[in-house]
Amino acid sequence: MKAVFYYPNSDPDPGNLESERAIRSLERDVLRMGALVEQSFRLSHQALFERDLTAAEELPRLDKKIDRFYRQIESDCTSIMISQAATTQDLRCLSAFMQLVRDLERIGDYAKDLAKIAIKIFPYPPHPCLTEIAVMSLHAQAMLATSLVALADLDEINGRRIKFLDDVVDHAYDKLYQILAYQRDVPGIIEPILLLTLAIRCLERMADHATNIGQRVAYIVTGQR
């Protein structure tokens, strides 16, 4: 993805140029963090729906990298904010970054949770709902990818459109919850059902955070929340 979403300031003041360079560096870090979160989401999907425990074992390592990016970006944003050279536009962009990386960090956490669910559910036979849940996961992953492309291209329209894509995931969550929560005559223990109920909740929240990222993009462009 190309980071083009900061508009250079025409003022040649050295302080402004330094601030611009710092924000450009931040842009690159945010997109690198986003790429890691996308990778963690894909691995969690492999772990849960393809029963790939090797993928599940990769998640803690990735999550540590994501957390390091999160802490560093927050620290860098704060440093630029308190500098006298930061413009109003800089502050708007930095404010959005700080909220946006929190959304990315939470998606990474939920991906790690899905990997833990995959490990716990592995000994059980696949549940009949697993295919529908996999489709829900793919929709949520598509939302994350769309939000990151919108961020890289500063695409306000696509950023706002993600909110409507979220309706598909919400509908899937409601339907699957009804099936899982009210299933009768369950043979054996109910742990697999409880685990899948947790999984669809994770996916629903991941989609919500992807929606938030799209809204942050719109705010960077328009200044309106």
Task: Give the CATH number for residue 159.
Answer: 1.20.58.220
DSSP 84: T
Predicted pLDDT of residue 224: 81
Predicted pLDDT of residue 4: 43
Question: Which range marks the domain in which residue 211 is found?
Answer: 14-222
Is position 6 within any domain?
A: no
For 56-84, give the secondary structure using H, E and C: HHHHHHHHHHHHHHHHHHHHHHHHHHCCC
Is position 125 within any domain?
A: yes
Is position 67 within any domain?
A: yes
Rounded Cα gap, residues 100 and 36, in angstroms: 14
Mean pLDDT (10-residue bins), the chain, 225 residues: 44 63 90 98 98 96 97 93 78 93 98 97 94 98 96 92 93 97 81 96 98 94 83
Residues 6 or more apart whose CB falls under 8 angstroms from that of 139 comprise 165, 168, 169, 172, 207
Which tokens sit at 150?
Answer: 């919108």
Is position 162 within any domain?
A: yes
When divided into structural domains, the chain yields a total of 1
Predicted pLDDT of residue 16: 66
- Model pTM greater than 0.85? yes
Is position 126 within any domain?
A: yes
Q: Say how many Å lie between the first and final Cα of the chain, rounded.
A: 25
